[in-house]
Amino acid sequence: MVIKWRYVSISLLLTIVCGTVLLGPIMSNVEHPKYIVIEKHGSIEWRKYDIRIAANVIVSGSREESIRSGFQQLADYIFGSNTVLDSSSKEKSESTFTNEKIAMTAPVEQLGEGNQWVISFNMPREYSLETLPKPNNPQVSITNKPAQNVLVIKFSGSNSTENVQSHAEKLKTFAKQNSIVINGNPIYAFYNPPWTLPILRRNEVMFEIDAN
């Protein structure tokens, strides 16, 4: 009987471990922004993005601290810290307003501006600026992101500052070798929950480039 329960315990533990390992990739199977790959060189791509709608928040601090803080504020917004008019009601009174859960998307994007960071979620394509719920947090803004041409490098592993900076340098080197002019600071993009095994993660660094 003891041996039987030992096997049951081991099986249960293995099930939990496997479930945890696979949960990150499964939860990352959400809507991604659409883009066209113009050119591809190994892990480096030249992409063209259309106009997107994004929820943004500006935070200060280290890169790691800012993405945690920014992610939390944006997650609060999409999980219901927002206000939307109940279209089923004909009267615009206080009671006609409610909140709405917005579907999660990927990636979470991070852009450094001076000593601050802009953290962004792309909004699901089903929404327009007019139909998105209004954030309750005044620090959260909703904007149109213009169409972009970007140079991107994809990589797995942790999203540590050392890892993202080393890939940013690889991308700069590639751009210089190929006479590609990059504009602005690097944009970091993270597609997976933090508990995802590093080997299964999808991370990206991108620079906006000229269309020509």
Task: Round to whole Å and give the CA distance between 63 and 60.
Answer: 8
pLDDT value for 3: 57
Task: Round to whole Å and give the CA distance between 102 and 77.
Answer: 8
pLDDT value for 195: 87
pLDDT value for 2: 52
pLDDT value for 153: 98
Closest listed residue to residue 116, CA positions, set 55, 57, 163: 57
160 is written with which tokens? 């540590």
The tens-digit pLDDT sequence of the chain (212 residues) is 555 555 544 544 443 344 344 444 444 579 999 999 999 999 999 999 999 999 999 999 999 999 999 999 999 999 999 999 776 555 555 557 889 999 999 999 999 988 899 999 999 999 999 999 999 999 999 999 999 999 999 999 999 999 999 999 999 999 999 999 999 999 999 999 888 999 999 999 999 998 76
The one-letter code for the residue type at 128 is S
Q: Is the peptide bond before 107 cis (omega within 30 degrees of 0)?
A: yes
Q: In angstroms, what CA-CA distances link 39 with 17, 44, 46, 48, 149?
A: 39, 9, 5, 10, 11
Q: Contact, 82 vs 133, CB < 8 A?
A: yes
Q: What share of the chain is helix, strand, coil (3-state, %, to 5)?
A: 30, 35, 35
- pTM (2 d.p.): 0.83
pLDDT value for 89: 53
Q: Which domains does the chain have, with CATH numbers?
A: 32-50+147-212 (no CATH), 53-104+112-143 (3.20.80.10)
